[in-house]
Amino acid sequence: MTTTEQATGTANGIGTSPRRPDGTGKVRGEFAYSSDLWHEDMLWGATLRSPHPYARIKGIDLTEAVAVQGVYAVLTHEDVPGVNRYGLEHADQPVLAVDVVRYQGEPVALVAADHPETARRAMKRIKVEYEVLEPVTDVVKAVSGEGARLHPGGNIVRHVPIRHGNPNATAEVVVTGSYEVGMQDQAFLGPESGLAIPAEDGGVDLFVATQWLHVDQRQIVAALGLPEEKVRLTLGGVGGAFGGREDLSIQVHACLLALRTGKPVKMVYNREESFYGHVHRHPATLHYEHGADRDGRLVYVKARIYLDGGAYASSTPAVVANAATLGVGPYDVPNVSIDCWGTYTNNPPCGAMRGFGAVQAGFAYESQMDRLAEACGLDPVEVRLRNAMSEGSVLPTGQVVDSAAPVAELLRRLTAKPLPPAPLEERDLRTLPGGVSNTTHGEGVVRGVGYAVGIKNVCFSEGFDDYSTARVRLEVVGGEPAATVQTAACEVGQGLVTVLQQIVRSELGVERVTILPMDTTIGNAGSTSASRQTYVTGGAVRAACLAVREALGPLSPYELGDKVLDETVEWRHRPTETLDPETGAGNAHVQYGFAAHRAVVDVDVDLGLVKVVQLDCAQDVGKALNPQAVLGQIQGGSAQGLGLAVMEEIQTRDGKIRNPSFTDYLIPTVLDMPPMSIDVLELADPHAPYGLRGVGEPPTISSTPAIVAAIRAATGQALTRVPVRPEHITGT
Amino acid sequence: MDFLRPQNLAEALALKAERPDAVPIAGGTDVMVELNFDHRRPAALLDLNRVGELAGWSASDAGVRLGACVPYTRVIAELGDRLPGLAMAARTVGSPQIRNRGTVGGNLGAASPAGDTHPVLLVTGARIEAASTRGTRLIPADEFYVGVKRNALADDELITAVHLPASEGAQQFSKVGTRNAMVIAVCSFALAIENYQVRAAIGSAAPTPRRVPEAEEFLAGELPWGSPLPDSLKRRFGELVAAAARPIDDVRGTAAYRKHALSVLARRTLGWAWQDILGRDSACA
């Protein structure tokens, strides 16, 4: 292990795990989430949504809704003063539907009323006449152009080809496979919510749970037709995000209602509405062919990857680029030919979710590596070791990996960990598949072990100007030096506020560090996504600290007197390049993160029920700024991967969601998620602040295929689809 | 919506007679979810939490009278020895928080085909005590479930208790869900063997929870009292149980899987029940 930089020795600086400022409140149930926002005299907003995946709107009659006592406003697309189009990458989504609805749950009208129940009742009195159309629901057909054209440019959002080496390479051993990944949901616990307060200057102040204040602001001002300074955002308490808050939900709607009524308007989705109110992980169909020599060394990989983006583009273009550029995984492959498509369909819109394209590809290429091992008569770990990427490796994009890529080391560490002991004869039901549901006392239970490793890009890619803005102020308060930090970087539960405090303590040697509320009175911090916030906003805060230190000169902070040092900086990571549209070549990514998992499962092969007995992880994080938070990220990411492996799926039929509730959208409980043994490697990346490497996403990628590999080992079934359902194992 | 808060049973029955549209609420683990999701808007709620008569249980030689508002947590902690099958089913309900609030009376009121306690109530010969200002009657569990989420109560009746006969026999309950805790049944199965009688019932595999008479009769006729069970017998019993099911395909599982899983549960629970019975015989000898 190496460390790049010594902490200054300040208590609670980097490399330590101080208590989170928001921790106690959250544990005690006292933390104010955005759904707890309240204002005197506020109204409640509600959203009328399309019941149809695809339909033409023939007419909207508001008469009865407006007449409901207590209703202050009922709005349709005609009331959107600015551009009725928004979107993260393409502005293709209406704030309120105009003549067509393209997914079940698409917002059509808004109501503001004095009580949420009044709003709901009024909403039911809005009469919308629909002409139901035949929805496009098959991603492959969408690529081939079958069915209705949902957007002016056709149904392909983006196609990324990767051509590397010899396209006609042949090999002695060839394994093929087709795989499917179901639609996973972020399942954050705090529903979409916020409060918009009209201001005297004709503008609006919005308090909202989001991942990126400035990109929300950009889209809101366009829709409202207001200048930027009239729409001010402050981060509300965020109850988890995982990508699902990158796109707008209540933002424009609440502002529209507030500006129209002249009153504060609160909006909160309930759990069911939340399933319609945010994007999900792209479901995927993936066809792979791996060619290798008899020793299992990869000669080529060919793949076709289809990602269903649903009704609107959201972040589909970037998800497509990730799945394509990371499509062969953390392996050296001389010849690569990949085509990856993201489409429009009338399925629920899909966008960002932890792992972002790398998850879907990861399930397929790791399943393929297991097939290759079998075809070559090799151990699954051995075949991975023989192909493992390392520092200096060249990716299929031609980009050279220019910092640590300890893929082999991660796998070796896992094999060195002890396996769980063989189960006892008499077992506590809670240790068995099915738990206290009493489905087995050991009958039919077979143990299996599986390995997987994954790769994820960190930060924004493809030439995006990815930066953050930080302001650090140093002064003496009550005889003690105190620092104040301001950024617009969203704390979504990951612990950014703690890490920023730690950085300031280490850089300035000041114990008292206050993090101001995140808002748009300071410049852009970029998104809390892509495992980037500690890297980029952490880098910006560090740079601001260096500027303060320079201003301080030889003085100690105690010697400041009445002087106040206040520095604001913009900080960028090194630039990236776009992908060549023909070959996919380009230095598109900033940094890579790697994690590997070993899963041990007990499967009741007669009932198809699975108990993950042990889930171990090894991950390189460059530098653990907060070791406890790093472990938390790895455990959480692994659990989310477990969910995708065995239970989490938004099931759709004809474009409609069949399970929009936590009754039937299942996420792992404490009895599903085993305790983990985790090895954290700290191999510094010389290009990154403190040598750190983004942590949040890599564990989500390898957890899923490791668990499925273990289930395959126990059952002998091919299991080409996640989540694995009991029926897939029993064959019934 | 009116919120009615009777202080005792007489008041509760009078209110229910007056307002037959009032939906009774105890733990609220079912009713509140329906309200929150806007799936149901009753004109009135009848809060039973202050009705002391419903909150306790009593035992006699004949069995247990379990008040309608006794939460699952208490069934597990206080009645595990007397009502092993019901306690097993109660353990599978929701989360600890739900078990602290949810009640057998509520399970019966909702009468969902997936309700966890129904198969056990069917196989233990439970009778549901229904009361109104007109009087009190006992409805055999076999006659209680009349349709999907419909029960045999009259509009003015409240469930006041469940009567479960004392049993020395073997009882088993088993439930398949796609998560290792806190999950609604994909299908479930209960079995009781006592005095050369067999009762078996399925849950979440037909429009109502129901007994499986053919499988019961077959098993009662074939059980090799005092000897180990042949595998062929277990298998045949499983097949008959599966054959009695009328499951559907839904988000929780396919009909084919439900039938398959029921055959496995029937086979396994029979094995455990028989082991239990053989164990007791040898202990007595």
Q: Work out whether strand A335-343 and strand A298-308 pair parallel, antiparallel, or are unpaired.
A: parallel
Q: How confident is the model at residue A126 (pLDDT cuts 50, 70, 90)?
A: very high
Helix (H) or strand (E) holding A139: helix A139-144
Q: Does B251 touch chain A (CB under 8 A)?
A: yes
Residues of B in contact with A608 (CB under 8 A): 257
Q: Is A502 exposed, middle or buried (0-12, 13-18, 19+ CB in 10 A)?
A: buried
d(CA A704, CA A360): 10
Token code pair at residue A664:
């039937």
> Across all residues in chain A, what is the average pLDDT?
97
- Nearest Cβ partner for B178 among A270, A272, A647: A647
Looking at residue A210, its pLDDT comes to 98
A271 with A229: CB under 8 angstroms?
no
- Residue A5 confidence (pLDDT) above 60: no
Q: How confident is the model at residue B39 (pLDDT cuts 50, 70, 90)?
A: confident
Average pLDDT over residues A221-234: 98
d(CA A575, CA A589): 9
d(CA A183, CA A728): 17
- Residue B265 confidence (pLDDT) above 80: yes
CB contact under 8 Å between A439 and B178, yes or no, is no
**Model confidence pLDDT, tens digit, residues A686-727:** 999 999 999 999 999 999 999 999 999 999 999 999 999 999
Contacts of B136 (CB under 8 A, 6+ apart): B129, B130, B160
B36 vs A182: which has the higher pLDDT: A182
**What is the chain B residue with the closest CA to A440?**
B268
Angle B251-B253-B259 (CA atoms, 0-180°, nearest 5)?
Answer: 150
- Nearest Cβ partner for B260 among A609, A659, A730: A730
Using DSSP, state whether B30 is helix, strand or coil.
Answer: coil
- Nearest Cβ partner for B253 among A444, A646, A727: A727
CB contact under 8 Å between B176 and A668, yes or no, is no
Looking at residue A424, its pLDDT comes to 81
Q: Does B115 touch chain A (CB under 8 A)?
A: no
Looking at residue B285, its pLDDT comes to 52
Average pLDDT over residues A52-79: 98
A140 with A285: CB under 8 angstroms?
yes
> Across all residues in chain B, what is the average pLDDT?
96
Q: How confident is the model at residue B283 (pLDDT cuts 50, 70, 90)?
A: low
Nearest to B173 by CA among A270, A218, A437: A437
- Nearest Cβ partner for B257 among A270, A663, A730: A730
Q: Name beta bridge partners: A591.
A: A458
B167 vs B120: which has the higher pLDDT: B120
Average pLDDT over residues B83-95: 97
Contacts of B231 (CB under 8 A, 6+ apart): none
| Residue position matching structure tokens 């307002």 | B19
Residues of A in contact with B245 (CB under 8 A): none
B38 vs A215: which has the higher pLDDT: A215
- Residue A611 confidence (pLDDT) above 50: yes
Sign of CA dihedral A397, A353, A691, A463: positive
Lowest mean pLDDT among A191-195, A447-451, A621-625, B35-39: B35-39
Q: Does B173 touch chain A (CB under 8 A)?
A: yes
Q: Does A663 touch chain B (CB under 8 A)?
A: yes
Q: Does B117 touch chain A (CB under 8 A)?
A: no
- Nearest Cβ partner for B38 among A120, A647, A725: A120
Token code pair at residue B229:
């069970």
**Model confidence pLDDT, tens digit, residues A555-609:** 999 999 999 999 999 999 999 999 999 999 999 999 999 999 999 999 999 999 9
Q: Does B181 touch chain A (CB under 8 A)?
A: yes
ipTM score for this prediction: 0.96
d(CA B104, CA B119): 12
Q: Does B39 touch chain A (CB under 8 A)?
A: no
Residues of A in contact with B29 (CB under 8 A): none
The alpha carbon of residue A122 is apart from the nearest alpha carbon of chain B, in Å, by 14
Average pLDDT over residues A129-141: 98
**What is the chain A residue with the closest CA to B37?**
A272
Q: How confident is the model at residue A8 (pLDDT cuts 50, 70, 90)?
A: very low
Among A35, A425, A437, A672, which would you mutate to test the B interface (most chain B Cβ atoms within 10 Å of its Cβ)? A437
A238 with A190: CB under 8 angstroms?
yes
CB contact under 8 Å between A726 and B176, yes or no, is yes
- Which of A 627-646 lie inside 8 A of B, CB atoms? 646
**What is the chain B residue with the closest CA to A433?**
B180
Q: Does A253 touch chain B (CB under 8 A)?
A: no
- Nearest Cβ partner for A435 among B88, B181, B252: B181
Q: Is B41 exposed, middle or buried (0-12, 13-18, 19+ CB in 10 A)?
A: exposed
CB contact under 8 Å between A438 and B173, yes or no, is yes
Residues of A in contact with B264 (CB under 8 A): 439, 444, 606-607
Looking at residue A1, its pLDDT comes to 35
The alpha carbon of residue A267 is apart from the nearest alpha carbon of chain B, in Å, by 16
d(CA A119, CA A115): 6
d(CA A306, CA A312): 16
A376 with A174: CB under 8 angstroms?
no
End-to-end CA distance of chain A: 50
- Which of A 710-729 lie inside 8 A of B, CB atoms? 725-727
d(CA B236, CA B219): 9
Residues of B in contact with A272 (CB under 8 A): 37
Among B180, B189, B252, B259, which would you mutate to test the A interface (most chain A Cβ atoms within 10 Å of its Cβ)? B180
Residues of B in contact with A121 (CB under 8 A): none
The length of chain B, given as a count of residues: 285
Residues of A in contact with B178 (CB under 8 A): 609, 646-647, 666, 725-726
d(CA A420, CA B85): 33
For the sheet with B210-211, list strands across it.
B170-176, B187-194, B197-203, B210-211
Looking at residue B195, its pLDDT comes to 87
> Rounded to the nearest 5°, which phi and psi values hold at B170?
-95, 135
For the sheet with A721-722, list strands across it.
A156-164, A335-343, A298-308, A284-292, A173-181, A721-722
> Rounded to the nearest 5°, which phi and psi values hold at A5?
-145, 135
- Residue A325 confidence (pLDDT) above 50: yes
Q: Does B179 touch chain A (CB under 8 A)?
A: yes
CB contact under 8 Å between A664 and B175, yes or no, is no
**Model confidence pLDDT, tens digit, residues A419-433:** 999 888 788 999 999
Residues of A in contact with B181 (CB under 8 A): 435-436, 669-672
Average pLDDT over residues A161-179: 97
Of all residues in chain B, what percent carry a pLDDT higher than 70? 99
- Which of A 217-246 lie inside 8 A of B, CB atoms? none
Residues of B in contact with A439 (CB under 8 A): 174-176, 264-265, 268
CB contact under 8 Å between B264 and A606, yes or no, is yes
